[in-house]
Structures are given as C-alpha cells and as structure tokens.
Structure 1
Amino acid sequence: MKIGNDESARQQSVSILDCTLREGSYAVDFQLPAEVIERILVELDESGVRFIELGHGWGLNGHTIARPGLVSDEDQFKLAAKVVRKAAWGGIGMPGVATFEQIGQLADAGASFFRIGVNITEIDSAPDYVTRSKELGLLTSMNLMKTQVLPDDGVVESVRRCESFGADMVYIVDSYGSLLPDDASRLIAAARAAVDIPVGFHGHDNLGMAHANTFAAIQGGATLVDTTLDGMGRSAGNASTEGVSTLMRKLALSSDLDNFRLATASETIVQPLERITDSRYFQLVGAFTGLHSSSFPMFARIAAEVGVDVAQVMERVSAIDPVSPTAELTRREALALKSGRQ
C-alpha cells in the first residue's frame, strides 16, 4: 500500500492535504495555466506538504460536466510525476463520473492515492470504486459530502460502512460550510470512535469557520485536513494552507512544514490569479439553509422567474431535499411561496 513517497508522510500524525490545484480550480473556472500548476507543485513539495491533490475541480472526467480545464488531468499528472520529489500526490473522482480506466491512468502516472467523493446518502455507489482503487495499490479514501444531512448516528453508520467497503480512510466533508467548531470536533470524534481507519476533514468558509473547524477537527482526532493556498476554492473557499500550517507549527503538531514559504507561495502565485466573482449573499444563505453552491444558479434563476425571494425558496427546498434539489422541486416551492401556500 503506497502512503507516500517519503518516510515522513508515514510518520506524521496530523497532515495537510493540499487541494489548491483541484478544489482551487473552481475559483478560476478551471483555467490554471501549466506554469502555475508546476510552480504550485514545486512550492508545496519543497514546503513539506506531504499530500497534494490535483486534477479537474469535479475530479476525474470532470470536463464532461463542467468547463474543461486549461490543462488536462493527464497533463497535470505528468507534471506531478516530473516535479514532485517528496510528497504523495493523487486525485479524486465521483461514482458515475470518473471511469475505472481513468483511475488506472492515475495510478500508472505514479499517483499514491485516490479519493472517492460521494454524497453521504449515496455511498452504495462507491464499493466498486474502492475495490478498483485498492487493486491498483492506491491509498483509498471515501469523502462523505453533505455530511450535515444526516444525524450523528447516521454519519457514524455511514463511516462504518465505508470501512466495511475496504476504504483506507474516510472524510467528513462540510460541503455547505455550515458546521461550527463543536460540530466538527464532535463528528470527527464520533467517527474515530466507530472505526479503526483514519478520519479526515474538508471544510468550507461560508460562515468564516473554515480555520476554526479545521482546528476543531484536529482536536477531535482528524488525521488529515484539507487546505488550499490563500483558501482558494469553490464558493467561499477553504481553510488556507499557509494558515493551517502556521497553526500546526505553533501548536507543535508538525515540524516539517515551511509555513512562511507557503505564505509566500500564496501571496506571489495564487493571490494574483484572476478569479470568477462569487456572491457572498448566496454563500451565507447556502450555509444557513444547508444547500450546496452548485445549485445556487438554479435557485436564483427560478426565484427571479417566479418573482419570489430566493432565500425563502431555498429554505423551503432544503426542508424537502437538501442533497439533490431539482428544478422541478424548486419551481414548485417557488410557486407555492408566491401563492402563499405552506
């Protein structure tokens, strides 16, 4: 089982998994130039980050459901194989989008890990992906998106099932950016108590809690925490690599991270990138109602067409289906709101 390309990746009790090149690509509409990708890879590797995720924001085969990346997944993998000397690197994919052939291409290119992103209510779609990834010798994680839609006991049961599928690791994902620190530490601790595999945390910053939640997750026993340089990511973004690495150094959780070099990389490579605009209003409404940013354009469009307040529509929709809300459901609730029906 490959866990990393150097011994320190195996020994570090709490590690950063930087996903600037994958999660962060949302913020630039997936248009990261090759030279930027290479510079980020080098800086992360030389700064002591031990796990690096790259590829299209939507994961393997993501170009089929969103704008293609400026640099293809395959070419990103070649860059990583060329310049990464110390860190483990890998990719992510969603059942029904990523193909087994592409997971094989990831492994053949020299990747060490593969993460399976799946809604926590849809984990039955994942076992074959776990099996295939492990057959290829990849460290295999199941990332449980939209964790908040289940009560704690439901989350724990889902985590147990991930372990039974053969996953090497499971992630609690704050997809809506709506968790508070007590939530993050409680969920991580409950998951850790339920399984023998490591538990990780991926947070979003809709409520400005990404750093606090990441720290709380570490306190709860998280083994890996996701970050991006400058916090660049989808919608409100994520905890910043430079911020979390500084926190880890300050608390003596890691002596390997060059947090000031990471801050320099954030300031000189990532901050100058031209990013697409994102609505702070929707970030907050999404966190409050528990709805994912991928549906925000649909909510805005239908609310405007019907002539009702979008936040009220989102509240109604969330009470019915916070995981996969449809245009039909949204329009029905918007019309009901307009007519005054409960």
Structure 2
Amino acid sequence: MSKSFEILDVSLRDGSHSVRHAFTEEQVRAVAKGLNAAGVRYFEVSHGDGLGGSSLQYGLSATDELKLIETAVSECTTSEVSVLLIPGIGTKENLQAAARLGAKMVRVATHVTEADVAAQHIQLGRELGLKTAGFLMMSHMAPVEKIVEQAKLFESYGAEIVYVTDSAGAMLPQDVTARIQALRQELQCEIGFHAHNNLSMAMANTIAAVESGATYIDGSIRALGAGAGNTQTEVMVAVLEKLGYQADIDLYKILDVANQVIAPMMQQPQEITGGSLLLGHAGVYSSFLLHAQKAAQQFGVDERDILMELGRMKTVGGQEDLIYEVAQHLIKA
C-alpha cells in the first residue's frame, strides 16, 4: 500500500510530562538527531502543556523551551519541528518566538467543545507560514455531531489538519472509527489522531484511525508520554509495515533512538499501572496522573479515589488545582 499518512512523534512534548519537564539540551539534541536520521518528517518540541506551559501550576521546565526548540531545529536536515499551543497557556508572542527559531508547524489545542478560542492562534500560524492544525482534546467527552461542529470551526479559521485527540486514553476502536469517518465526510482538510495508552488501546485505535482516513497519526518513542504514554512510534512503524503501509521511516534507526537514546533518559518504565488504567476508565486527562500521585502522597489518600472523583466531575485540562481540592475533600469524607 502506498503511504497515506504522516507519523508525528511527540516524545519531546508529551514525553515532557513523563520526565517532569526536565529535558536537557543534550537529550533533545540526541533525540532530534536520531529522529531526523530515521526519516521522521515532523516531531514536536514544547513543554508538556505546550508553549508557555512552564509554571507552578503545570510544572516548571528545567530548560527554557525556546532553547530546546532551537536545539532541535539545529539537528534537522529533513525533519521539521512542531510546537503545541493551548490558548490561555501559550500566547501569540510564544508562537512568534518559536517560528523565529525555525519551528515549521503548530498544533493549536482546545477542549473538544471550545474550538472558538483558537481562531486568532490558528490564523497567526497560517500568517507565519506554519503548517497549522487544530487539536480537539478530550474527544471522548463529546458526541460525533459536536466534534464535527467544532472541527468545522477549526477548518473555517484556516486549520490544515484537525486532530481527534484521545487525551484520556478512554476510547475504543469503534469510537475512533466513528469520529474519523465523520470528519472525513464533512471536512475538506486533513484529519489527525493522537492516542494515549491508558486502556492498552493506543495501537488498535491508531490502526482504526488510519483505516478510517486519518492522514496524520501521533506516536512517541518507547511510548514516552503522559499517563501510560502514547502509541509507541517504533512499534507503530513495524505494525503498519506488516499491514502493508509504507511508513517511510527506517525501522532499525528508530529502534536505535528507542534503545540507545530514549531508554536511558526514562525515569520509570512506561507501563499501564493502576493509576494510568483508571485515567482511561474514568476519562481523566492523562497529564493529571503525576499531579494525582503527588496529591495522594501529600494528603495520605488513594490516588485511585482521586482519579475516579475527577472522572465523575468531568474535569478537563487546566483544572489541575481541583486535584488537590479533591484530595482534601476525600480526607474530610
């Protein structure tokens, strides 16, 4: 089968959550060099919560993200650097700075029902000459009709790609198929899919996305990412090749990045634990896991109870402060 998709690697953005935003210039340089050599067209470099995310609420970065972007760009000969921007966290000035340093793509991320807050950022991305995408986070929380409505808003603002984003790792393949097929029928732009592996469904969901018409799919080396991580890039390359697709990524070289570069910098194995499993089961934003673990230790409560309550409350990205309020409430209860 001829190639019909691009693999975008998020190890240096979503993976930032897993290492508590402690990437160094040397680590980013090594990963960028390896991804470029392996033939990965796009890879993302930002704080885990996007441009401007370094803060007490979201986690302070050990190294300025603009320096990390500059370092990554310097290693690219064929690859291109993408950045993530969440309106309300990142600003237009942050995006302009990233573009000056050589970023070639921006993905503007909003909650699945709030695409309207992204208009000015998507328009700026196009004005800066960046490949520009809209990123519908927590897509499991909205019915197909609402996702189509919000995706059309992104497209009307100028988005060249619209992503269905399973931020909680809560979807099953049929959920992905329904959403991607609906967008494929209703939109003229390209469609992307971003998975988390909290229910061990990331690879199956990614295959469902490709077979339903997604043209951009995300992965991370060694599954390095929030919660139980993302679809594992090197595994995805191998699986898609077995299915007959041409991924145009050198399997040996991407394995070298996984084993020789990423593995030594991981703080713990990326696996499905009780906490990450409950993220998917309860439909909780994947980056909440480390905050929930910290709150559980601080207040002496079970992290699983925190996550289940957050799911019941239908919390969304940006409500990290609620995690600690929930922990305190559990003590009183």
Alpha-carbon distance in structure 2 between the residues aligned to 1:77 and 1:300:
29
The alpha-carbon deviation at position 102 of structure 1 amounts to: 1.4
Amino acid at match of 1:288: H
Residue 230 (str. 1) matches residue 259 (str. 2): no
Distance 1:231-1:277 versus aligned 2 partners, 3 A rule: closer
Contact 1:29–1:276 (8 Å) recurs in 2: no
Alpha-carbon distance in structure 2 between the residues aligned to 1:216 and 1:69:
35
What secondary structure, in the 3-state scheme, does the structure 1 residue paired with 2:106 have?
A: strand
Alpha-carbon distance in structure 2 between the residues aligned to 1:272 and 1:306:
32
Deviation per CA, 1:13-72, whole angstroms, max 9, x where unpaired?
211001111111211112222222111111111111111111221211111343333332
Greater CA drift, 282-291 or 314-323? 314-323
The alpha-carbon deviation at position 122 of structure 1 amounts to: 2.0
Distance 1:330-1:277 versus aligned 2 partners, 3 A rule: farther
**Which position in structure 1 is the counterpart of 2:66?**
74
Distance 1:25-1:323 versus aligned 2 partners, 3 A rule: closer
Contact 1:54–1:90 (8 Å) recurs in 2: yes
What secondary structure, in the 3-state scheme, does the structure 1 residue paired with 2:253 have?
A: helix
Alpha-carbon distance in structure 2 between the residues aligned to 1:320 and 1:232:
27
**Which position in structure 1 is the counterpart of 2:173?**
181
What secondary structure, in the 3-state scheme, does the structure 1 residue paired with 2:50 have?
A: coil
Structure 2: where are the runs of 5+ without partners? none
**Which position in structure 2 is the counterpart of 1:34?**
25
* Counterpart among 273, 283, 289 of residue 282 in structure 2: 289
Alpha-carbon distance in structure 2 between the residues aligned to 1:173 and 1:113:
17
**Which position in structure 2 is the counterpart of 1:139?**
131
* Counterpart among 14, 24, 42 of residue 23 in structure 1: 14
* Counterpart among 90, 93, 108 of residue 98 in structure 1: 90
Amino acid at match of 2:7: I
Alpha-carbon distance in structure 2 between the residues aligned to 1:63 and 1:329:
22
Greater CA drift, 253-262 or 45-54? 253-262
The alpha-carbon deviation at position 154 of structure 1 amounts to: 1.1
Greater CA drift, 292-301 or 12-21? 292-301
Amino acid at match of 2:51: L
The alpha-carbon deviation at position 12 of structure 1 amounts to: 5.0
Q: Percent same amino acid at aligned positions?
A: 28
Alpha-carbon distance in structure 1 between the residues aligned to 2:193 and 2:71:
27
Deviation per CA, 1:72-129, whole angstroms, max 9, x where unpaired?
2221222233210001212111101111111111111222111112111222211111
Contact 1:145–1:175 (8 Å) recurs in 2: yes
| C-alpha RMSD over aligned residues | 2.7
Alpha-carbon distance in structure 1 between the residues aligned to 2:34 and 2:294:
39
What secondary structure, in the 3-state scheme, does the structure 1 residue paired with 2:114 have?
A: helix
Deviation per CA, 1:255-274, whole angstroms, max 9, x where unpaired?
52101210121011111224
Alpha-carbon distance in structure 2 between the residues aligned to 1:158 and 1:290:
20
Contact 2:190–2:214 (8 Å) recurs in 1: yes
**Which position in structure 2 is the counterpart of 1:118?**
110
Deviation per CA, 1:291-327, whole angstroms, max 9, x where unpaired?
12444445984899697x7656654553443326636
Q: How is 1:142-291 mapped onto 2 (pairs within 5 angstroms)? A: 142-254=134-246, 256-275=248-267, 280-291=273-284
Q: How is 1:40-51 mapped onto 2 (pairs within 5 angstroms)? A: 40-51=31-42
Tell me the TM-score normalised to structure 1 length. 0.86
Greater CA drift, 255-264 or 196-205? 255-264
Amino acid at match of 2:163: Y
Aligned residues: 326
Distance 1:99-1:250 versus aligned 2 partners, 3 A rule: same
What secondary structure, in the 3-state scheme, does the structure 2 residue paired with 1:91 have?
A: strand
Amino acid at match of 1:25: S
**Which position in structure 2 is the counterpart of 1:60?**
51
Alpha-carbon distance in structure 2 between the residues aligned to 1:31 and 1:293:
18
Q: Higher Cα Rg: structure 1 or 2?
A: 1
Alpha-carbon distance in structure 2 between the residues aligned to 1:229 and 1:34:
18
What secondary structure, in the 3-state scheme, does the structure 1 residue paired with 2:231 have?
A: coil
Amino acid at match of 1:156: V
